Structure 1
């Protein structure tokens, strides 16, 4: 039977964890989730960033900041435990933490590969693992992974980042099949070029080329990605799992 949904506060009564939640798409998603009624635990690298973000988004304490480096398994375990201990449950994971290195094959090093995979691939896997285990206990939950257009097609200058995002896309499909019988949905978003601190750190030439390839002719906003994440995390998407939603200004339609 379809669930009754409060469309005014679509996450009322839900508890969410967002990795990389102090900046960019993560912060925009945390803000939107809090506005939609969720209790939110954000994880990020800096104590100052997570505490300031949590205080700004919810002075009442409905948003909590935790220092978390997704390269470290114990940090991720602590992040999930904080949600359960503080708010009594864990309903949603947004695995957003990531880095976006630009590299061609000749310049890419083994160290850059390892660092990127540690954050974008291993960190995402561990986040999904420990959130998923909590959700399986409850018999329900929604996981949203951050893939990318680079996790769907090949692109120049992303010989390291692109394969890491293919991991996100593959993880989405495989976890969706494994966890569906246990009441847990797993989906992903595939953003195009989005206005975030990580993208701002890229070369101007790289950004300009990226924008030019988007049929809508502009860079996307973090808030636009957050709305897509909200949909996939909400009960409105209760019959959707294993999907990868492009939020890319038409990039992948070409």
Structure 2
């Protein structure tokens, strides 16, 4: 992994003021919105992604407004990269208070078209990557006796959908990991929760095409896609002390999708 850093004065205040937050998949979509939201609430950020160029731009934007952020490139499916990411966070900021395990891919494939390679790659990124991120971040949180982890699940972890024979099961991993880790880490002062977004207006969803998006949007009672910042707001709540008595929860932020 390589690191790009800038540390100007930081004068904003907020609900996670001076908390050290690691956000994976931070360069675009929900991760990008979460980084921006956390920065506005005073967090010190360790932003991880594979896209060096977008990551550099995000770090520059945040630090240019007086925030504290570093960018680390790496692949969450690789144990060495995840270990290095957490080491960078501790080396630079001294600890890890919050992890947002957001990195993931959204393949669209039914059972007939899905390949073993697609299954393995998706599980490596969405499943193993989340496990590794939680494992190494939690190790640092346990040392301090406190911390908050927020995983990104999906409505696909609760409701069957066409064309999600690979992605849906991967998100079952996210929800299951959240609940089991919540119990495993509760007596160590670490909370673990998840957000389950509905269809969100991100570049990844945009790849579904106009017809595909229209069909999915029609399934949401509120009649629209969600905005990345709406997911970021929910993540912020679960990561903050306002959610101090919440652990093991998977919060739908889905425009009513799962209420049907």
TM-score (normalizing by structure 1): 0.95
Pairing partner for 1:113 from 94, 115, 119: 119
**What is the CA–CA distance in structure 1 between the aligned matches of 2:210 and 2:118, rounded to whole Å?**
21
Match of 2:222 in 1: 216
Confirm or deny: 8 A CA contact 2:39 2:67 kept in the other structure: no
**What is the CA–CA distance in structure 1 between the aligned matches of 2:69 and 2:216, rounded to whole Å?**
34
Pairing partner for 1:195 from 192, 201, 204: 201
Match of 2:44 in 1: 39
Match of 1:3 in 2: none
Match of 2:86 in 1: 80
Task: Describe the SS at the equivalent of 1:194.
Answer: coil
How far is the alpha carbon of 1:133 from its aligned partner?
A: 0.6
Confirm or deny: 8 A CA contact 1:101 1:160 kept in the other structure: yes
Confirm or deny: 8 A CA contact 1:192 1:248 kept in the other structure: yes
Task: Describe the SS at the equivalent of 1:10.
Answer: coil
Match of 2:53 in 1: 48
How far is the alpha carbon of 1:46 from its aligned partner?
A: 1.9
Task: Describe the SS at the equivalent of 1:58.
Answer: helix
How far is the alpha carbon of 1:108 from its aligned partner?
A: 0.6
Confirm or deny: 8 A CA contact 1:18 1:93 kept in the other structure: yes
How far is the alpha carbon of 1:88 from its aligned partner?
A: 0.9
Q: Report the count of equivalent residues.
A: 247
**What is the CA–CA distance in structure 2 between the aligned matches of 1:172 and 1:220, rounded to whole Å?**
23
**What is the CA–CA distance in structure 2 between the aligned matches of 1:52 and 1:133, rounded to whole Å?**
30
Match of 2:150 in 1: 144
Match of 1:29 in 2: 34
Task: Describe the SS at the equivalent of 2:106.
Answer: coil
TM-score (normalizing by structure 2): 0.93
**What is the CA–CA distance in structure 2 between the aligned matches of 1:105 and 1:252, rounded to whole Å?**
23
How far is the alpha carbon of 1:61 from its aligned partner?
A: 5.9
Detail structure 1 runs of 4+ shifted over 3 Å in the superposition.
none
Q: Deviations over 1:105-153 (max 9, x none)?
A: 1101001101110100010000000001110111000000000000112
| More off after superposition, 228-237 vs 43-52 | 43-52
Task: List alignment gaps of at least 5 residues for structure 1.
Answer: 1-7
Confirm or deny: 8 A CA contact 2:102 2:151 kept in the other structure: yes
Confirm or deny: 8 A CA contact 1:220 1:248 kept in the other structure: yes
Are 1:13 and 2:18 an aligned pair? yes
Match of 2:213 in 1: 207
Task: List alignment gaps of at least 5 residues for structure 2.
Answer: 1-12
**What is the CA–CA distance in structure 1 between the aligned matches of 2:125 and 2:211, rounded to whole Å?**
25
User: What RMSD over aligned residues (CA atoms) do the two structures have, in Å?
Assistant: 0.9
